[in-house]
């Protein structure tokens, strides 16, 4: 269990630091309106994860109980999806665009925006389906509980990581815009992480 959680935590932290629509939005809100605005968005994004975790836990647990081979098939599909993400990153440009919205919103509205961004994005559920099953430590035990442990761990690490991004918004933004090789470095970091997780999921 401990080894699975450590591996999961490291992978989650690496994923959280990758430039994507969620953490870029946190970064731009923090740049434009301060750290608290970025943290409010972060809280909303993380809160939405509990819904995806619940759907995953109760949906997949029945499949695991019914057919271990079918569950392994789901893990293979998950690994293929992660490899697809790696390929899409490879094809994409390495530039990172930062756009700021100068209209400040109340913290409650930013929280709500974060929740909605998370819940209406079908890619989040697909990613959870691809990412979480490979880190279950014992499919013979209570898998619902294991999914919730992974989900809560994901939420805590994502909240801490995104909050750090919000707190360091100015320095991170300067680094992204002044270091010309940063985009290329982060691009290949994403590819390595996606491929690495895909391989890990397929290891029995």
Gap between the Cα atoms of 23 and 162, Å rounded? 6
Paired tokens of 204: 């029995």
Exposed e or buried b per residue across 80-97, where buried means at least 16 C-beta atoms within 10 angstroms of its C-beta: ebbbebbeebeeeeeeee
DSSP state of 168: T
Predicted pLDDT at 41: 92
Assess whether pLDDT exceeds 90 at residue 201: no
Predicted pLDDT at 103: 66
More confident residue, 80 or 172: 80
User: 203 falls in which pLDDT band (50, 70, 90)?
Assistant: confident
User: 39 falls in which pLDDT band (50, 70, 90)?
Assistant: very high
Predicted pLDDT at 64: 72
Nearest to 136 by CA among 42, 72, 45, 48: 72
User: 17 falls in which pLDDT band (50, 70, 90)?
Assistant: confident
Nearest to 121 by CA among 12, 55, 45: 45
Q: Match 């100015």 to its residue by tokens.
A: 170
Assess whether pLDDT exceeds 90 at residue 157: yes
Predicted pLDDT at 101: 60
pLDDT digits (tens, 9 = 90+) for 40-57: 999 999 999 998 899 888
Average of per-residue pLDDT values in the chain: 83
Assess whether pLDDT exceeds 70 at residue 185: yes
Lowest-confidence pick of 10-24, 79-93, 181-195: 181-195
Predicted pLDDT at 47: 93
The greatest distance separating any two alpha carbons of the chain, rounded to the nearest whole angstrom, comes to 54
Predicted pLDDT at 147: 92
Where do runs of H (alpha helix) occur along the chain? 2-17, 21-33, 35-66, 68-91, 107-119, 122-131, 143-167, 169-178, 182-202
Gap between the Cα atoms of 75 and 32, Å rounded? 41
Predicted pLDDT at 152: 94
Give the list of residues 6+ apart from residue 204 with CB closer than 8 angstroms, or none.
none
Gap between the Cα atoms of 4 and 196, Å rounded? 15
pLDDT digits (tens, 9 = 90+) for 58-95: 887 777 767 778 777 878 888 888 888 889 878 877 66
Q: Where along the chain do its domains lie?
A: 19-94+105-202
pLDDT digits (tens, 9 = 90+) for 103-141: 677 899 999 988 988 887 777 888 888 888 889 888 788
Predicted pLDDT at 111: 94
């Amino acid at each position: 269990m401990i080894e699975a959680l450590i591996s999961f935590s490291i992978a989650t932290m690496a994923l959280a630091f990758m430039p994507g629509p969620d953490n870029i939005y946190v970064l731009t809100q923090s740049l434009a309106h301060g750290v608290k605005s970025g943290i409010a968005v972060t809280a909303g994004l993380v809160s939405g994860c509990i819904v995806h975790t619940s759907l995953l836990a109760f949906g997949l647990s029945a499949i695991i109980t019914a057919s271990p081979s079918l569950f392994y098939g789901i893990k293979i599909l998950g690994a293929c999806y992660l490899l697809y993400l790696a390929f899409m990153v490879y094809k994409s440009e390495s530039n990172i665009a930062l756009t700021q919205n100068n209209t400040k919103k109340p913290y409650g509205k930013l929280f709500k925006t974060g929740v909605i961004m998370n819940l209406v994005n079908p890619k989040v559920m697909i990613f959870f389906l691809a990412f979480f099953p490979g880190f279950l430590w014992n499919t013979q035990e209570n898998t619902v509980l294991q999914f919730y442990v992974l989900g809560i761990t994901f939420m805590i690490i994502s909240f801490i990581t995104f909050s750090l991004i919000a707190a360091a918004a100015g320095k991170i933004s300067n680094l992204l815009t002044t270091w010309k090789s940063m985009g290329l470095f982060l691009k290949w970091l994403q590819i390595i992480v996606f491929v690495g997780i895909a391989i890990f999921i397929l290891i029995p």
